[in-house]
Chains A and B, each alone.
Chain A
Amino acid sequence: MEGSNPDYVKFPARHWKLFGTDRVWFAPDHLLLVVSNFGISEDYKRFYFKDIQAVNVMKTVAAKAKAIVGSVLLLLWAILAALLFSFSDMSVGGTILLVLIGAGLAAYVISRFVRGPSCRCVVYSSVQRQVLSPVKSIKTADRFLEKLVPQIEAVQGKPDISLMDQGENHIQAPEPALASHVAEKPLKQISDKWHWILYLGLLLLSALVVATMLMRSPVISLAETFIYAAVFIINIVAVVKQTGSTLPTSLKSAGFVSLVLMILTVFLGYVNMVYFMFQTPDEMAKIANNTWEMVKYFAQLDVFEYPFLLWVNVFLAASCAVVGIWGVIGLWRKEE
Chain B
Amino acid sequence: MIACENCRTPISPEQINRNEYTPCGYCGTLLQTHVFPAANKQVSDEQKQPEIIVTDEAGCFYHPTKKAVAPCSSCGRFLCALCDIEMDGKHICFSCMESGAENNELDQLENHRFLADGLALRISFLPVLLPMFIWFTCITAPISIFYVVRYWNRTNSITPRSRWRFVAAFMFSGLQLLGWAALILMAVFK
Contact = CB atoms under 8 A, between A and B. Distances in A.
Interface of A: 1-6, 8, 10, 19-20, 23, 25, 32, 34, 38-46, 50-59, 120, 122, 124-126, 138, 141, 145, 149, 152-153, 156-161, 163-165, 167-174, 177-179, 182, 185-187, 246, 248-249, 333
A138 B30 CA distance: 11
A120 B37 contact: no
Interface in B24-38: 26-38
A4 B16 contact: no
A293 to B, nearest CB: 41
A120 B161 contact: no
Contacts of B5: 56, 58, 120, 122
B157 A42 contact: yes
Interface residues of B, number: 55
B113 A56 contact: no
Interface in B1-38: 1-8, 10-11, 13, 16-17, 19, 21, 26-38
The secondary structure that dominates the B interface is: loop
A44 B115 CA distance: 13
B58 interface: no
A206 to B, nearest CB: 27
A170 B41 CA distance: 11
A59 B37 contact: no
B55 interface: no
Given A122-B5, A169-B1, A56 B33 contact: yes
B122 interface: yes
A179 B110 CA distance: 28
A124 B155 CA distance: 31
A57 B2 CA distance: 12
Contacts of A179: 1
B89 to A, nearest CB: 10
Interface stretch (B90-98, B100-108, B134-142): B100-108
Contacts of B30: 58-59
Given A4-B161, A182-B8, 20 more contacts: A2-B154, A25-B159, A42-B158, A54-B2, A54-B36, A56-B32, A56-B33, A125-B38, A145-B19, A164-B16, A171-B39, A173-B39, A179-B1, A182-B3, A185-B8, A186-B8, A246-B6, A246-B7, A246-B27, A248-B28
A113 B113 CA distance: 36
Nearest to A125: B38
Contacts of A149: 34
A38 B123 CA distance: 12
B40 A170 contact: yes
A8 B8 contact: no
A8 B105 CA distance: 19
B155 A4 contact: yes
A172 B1 contact: yes
Contacts of A46: 108
Contacts of A152: 36
Best-surrounded residue of B36, B37, B41 (most CB of chain A within 10 A): B36
B38 A50 contact: yes
A234 to B, nearest CB: 23
Given A149-B34, A167-B13, A249 B115 contact: no
A141 B28 CA distance: 19
Nearest to A8: B159
A119 B58 CA distance: 53
Contacts of B33: 54-57
A44 B68 CA distance: 33
Interface in B81-132: 104-105, 107-108, 110-115, 118-119, 121-122
A330 to B, nearest CB: 11
A34 B159 contact: yes
Contacts of A125: 38
B84 to A, nearest CB: 16
Contacts of B31: 56-59
B35 A248 contact: no
Nearest to A7: B160
Contact of B115 (A3, A39, A185): A39
A248 B27 contact: yes
A161 B3 CA distance: 19
A54 B118 contact: no
Given A42-B112, A53-B35, A54-B33, A171 B161 contact: no
